[in-house]
Structure 1
Amino acid sequence: MDIAPYIDALILREGGYVDHPADRGGKTRWGITEAVARQNGYDGDMRHLPRAKAEAIYRQVYWTAPRFDQVAKRAKRLAIRLLDSGVNVGPAVASGFLQRALNALNRNGRDFPDLQVDRQIGPVTLAALDAFHKLRGAQGEEVLCKAIDALQGVHYIHLTEARPSQEAFAYGWIANRIG
């Protein structure tokens, strides 16, 4: 699956250089935080992070490493939702959203066993997704996307309740990241 158009859309939405005082991520460019850029070998000024480097980070850190590429082989739209969610709340949190949603939708284990919510997509999570997809098809994928949106929305509300400074971002998160 070619994710280039989705990375382009992320970069467009995330914008260029930002250093908002309330943003716990600190300096960012193209939506890549300084900490993530440093972890991935960039040591220059964040104002000059090359777009190509940001694209490579998106592919590796937010697509391949959390195995959203493997989800895409089964459910393309769901994988794109996980990519977007993972960029904003972290790939592990997004992976946990998927596991929690699958657990809620497995009809008390009748369709497939409950997953341990370890926030990592591995063979057991993929097998559960396969079983869910076999039973529910495209409509099931739509329901999983809605469940992930719901979990992400609750995550944002919890963040603002725990850290009122994050209210500066709540409207944009909900407007641009949910649905």
Structure 2
Amino acid sequence: MMIDDLIDGVIDREGGYIHHPADRGGATRFGITEAVARANGYTGDMRHFARPAAVAIYRQLYWSRPGLDRVADRAPALAAELFDTGVNMGPAVATGFFQRALNALNRGGRDYPDVVPDGRIGARTLAALDAFLATRGAGAETVLVKAVEALQGERYLSLAEQRPANEAFLYGWLAQRIG
């Protein structure tokens, strides 16, 4: 199953327990922040947060709830990018990037109507995706992925510019985007 591989990849990249002094997110394990773990019922020390709990959180909060399973049925590479972006920036941010890209690529509304960039994947966003893929054909998904990655990269640069402590993370944020 696609999501299992995506979750394994995130956990492999994020590693075990980390508590970097410059990270506003605080302690993490497997890429799950302490705040997210607590919001999902975990009460123990983050050093002991279990991998199956991290997997369940990734599956529910970053895949199912935002509706990426429905995107994956149409555009699996896009769904994978939105999952990864959502893990790093939040699912609503990732979905907002997706919606903004759809709007910018609809040729002034000639191909399909604009969608409200509300950070939620609903029927209108999926209809716009379907129309985009049908209208633009081969290569359309790749272009949409690139547009989302461009928005993500710009946000990473802005975060580093706004808070110099984030420069400690910028190289890694951008490096994981390559390939």
TM norm structure 1 = 0.97
Q: Which residue does 2:83 correspond to in 1?
A: 83
Q: Which residue does 1:126 correspond to in 2?
A: 126
C-alpha distance in 2 between matches for 1:107 and 1:127 = 16
Q: Which residue does 1:60 correspond to in 2?
A: 60
1:27, distance to aligned residue in structure 2 (A):
0.5
Q: Which residue does 1:40 correspond to in 2?
A: 40
RMSD: 1.0
Structure 2 unpaired stretches of 5+: none
Q: Which residue does 1:97 correspond to in 2?
A: 97
Q: Percent identity?
A: 65
C-alpha distance in 1 between matches for 2:155 and 2:137 = 27
Q: Return the letter of the residue paired with 1:15.
A: G
Q: Which residue does 2:173 correspond to in 1?
A: 173
C-alpha distance in 1 between matches for 2:110 and 2:24 = 42
Structure 1 unpaired stretches of 5+: none
C-alpha distance in 1 between matches for 2:164 and 2:129 = 36
C-alpha distance in 1 between matches for 2:96 and 2:104 = 12
Contact 1:15 1:29 in 2 (8 A): yes
Could you list the structure 1 runs, at least 4 aligned residues long, displaced by more than 6 angstroms after superposition: none
TM norm structure 2 = 0.97
- Worse-matched range after superposition: 49-58 or 158-167: 158-167
Q: Which residue does 2:147 correspond to in 1?
A: 147
C-alpha distance in 2 between matches for 1:172 and 1:60 = 26
Q: Which residue does 1:159 correspond to in 2?
A: 159
1:150, distance to aligned residue in structure 2 (A):
0.3
1:115, distance to aligned residue in structure 2 (A):
1.3
1:44-88 CA distances to partner (integer Å, 9 max, x unpaired)?
A: 110111000000000000000111111111101100000001000
C-alpha distance in 2 between matches for 1:2 and 1:117 = 26
Contact 1:30 1:51 in 2 (8 A): yes
Q: Please give the secondary structure, in 1, of the residue aligned with 2:146.
A: helix
C-alpha distance in 2 between matches for 1:73 and 1:40 = 28
How many residue pairs end up in the alignment? 179
